[in-house]
Amino acid sequence: MSGVNQIHGRVTNIKKLRKNLRFIIISMDGNRVECVDDHEESVRLSRGDFFTATGQFRRKVNSSDNEFSIETITSVCKPRTHNALSDEFVDPRRIEALRIRTIMVVAISNFFLQRNFTPVHSPIIVGDWVKGQTRAFKVEYHRGQEAYLTISTIVHHQLIQSMGYGRIFEIARLFRRNNDSSPKKLSEFTNIVIGMLNSSVEEVIAVFGEMINVIYCELRSARLREFALPAPLVFDRITFDQLLCDASTSQLSGHQLSLEVRTYMNERFPSFVWVTGFPEHTRPFYVKSSHGICDDCQLWFKGRTYLATGGVIETNPDTIALKIAAEGKDIERFRFHIDALELGVPPMANIDMGIERFLGHFFDGSQPAEFSFFPRYSGRVAP
């Protein structure tokens, strides 16, 4: 990159070298740009100010793709002075965290588009089918109509795929009120979700594992400064029963493995581990099962928490109806879903993973809220 170009961004560091000469570092679109300003009438700048300028670009010798130097700034516009609310956006770690998120989202989109997955969009405001064990945010729609913010894309993806879409993906906004939102656990978050017709758990595991490796390579090539990537990734695998046996425990809940099991996983598995074969009673009604064992999987990272869950989806409307009743739910609230299945839906599989959740655990010492542009939690709601 060379020639005169315009730059715009926030000042992350500034150092006066001598009169009418200063060294400025700004963040521009997630890139670190080093500037030398020798303009005689330069305006006053402070850390956190936003400004625009023109200058001569020159790529630094042995620099990364996201690092440039500008030899001379020929003009600087009047900055917008920052205030206390903008301080967090000036923090180099904060800037890099959002750049990491952006790299991940772009990598995910490119990965699935290159593999002929169709991007889809599920509705955010939905009917009362979301009422159940997971608490939803209630909202008012047209003329007082009762509605909710969606907690999942699973039902909508099945309906979309019943229309003939074989391989789909979505970067979806989801909302859950199960616990008070906090920097460690957001009630408003982003999921990457995929659905595939005529697929198995094995294909789900293979595709998602490949996607995570691509994300890792993209982040490694970005040469991060504020965040340290974990060691090269390893994907192990173990069944639910074998995991309980090896951990010397009889705990049977598949929703949340016990502390003893997670401690064992953290000691044995250095990176990722796929857990398969969960008991039927521990999984949602839409998961396909056989002889009491579910055809699904969970992806765990160092035993800390599971990051992704997925598997083969039950498409038999009679079986779905029985499972809904067994969970004590009103079947009429899922009537549109059952009606779609009765039209005939091929075997399908899906998997989903929270983007903020993934990054918050992937980088040691991080929290999911760091990787959200506008995180909302108790005591902090963005304007």
> Which residue in 60, 288, 14 sits closest to 154, CA to CA?
288
CATH class of 92-371: alpha beta
Classify residue 82 by burial, with Cβ atoms within 10 Å: 0-12, 13-18, 19+.
middle
β-pair type (146-149, 125-126): antiparallel
List the chain domain ranges: 2-86, 92-371
> Which residue in 257, 228, 220, 229 sits closest to 241, CA to CA?
257
pLDDT tens column, 322-355: 888 887 888 887 887 788 788 777 788 999 999 9
pLDDT of residue 67: 53
pTM listed for this prediction? 0.77
The answer to whether residues 194 and 309 touch, using CB atoms and an 8 Å cutoff, is no
Give the Cα separation of 154 and 312 in Å (integer).
Answer: 12
> Which residue in 179, 220, 239, 204 sits closest to 362, CA to CA?
220
> Which residue in 146, 160, 153 sits closest to 176, CA to CA?
153
pLDDT tens column, 363-379: 988 999 999 998 887 77
Give the Cα separation of 245 and 8 in Å (integer).
Answer: 58
The answer to whether residues 73 and 35 touch, using CB atoms and an 8 Å cutoff, is yes
Q: Per-block average pLDDT, block size 10, for the chain (383 residues)? A: 64 79 77 72 71 63 52 46 45 88 97 97 87 79 88 87 90 86 87 94 96 96 91 93 88 70 91 92 85 92 88 90 84 79 83 96 91 84 64
Domain 2-86 grouped into CATH 2.40.50.140? yes
CA dihedral 352, 354, 360, 363 (to 10 degrees): 40
Q: What is the DSSP letter of 283?
A: S
pLDDT of residue 69: 53
pLDDT of residue 43: 67
> Which residue in 209, 190, 214 sits closest to 360, CA to CA?
190
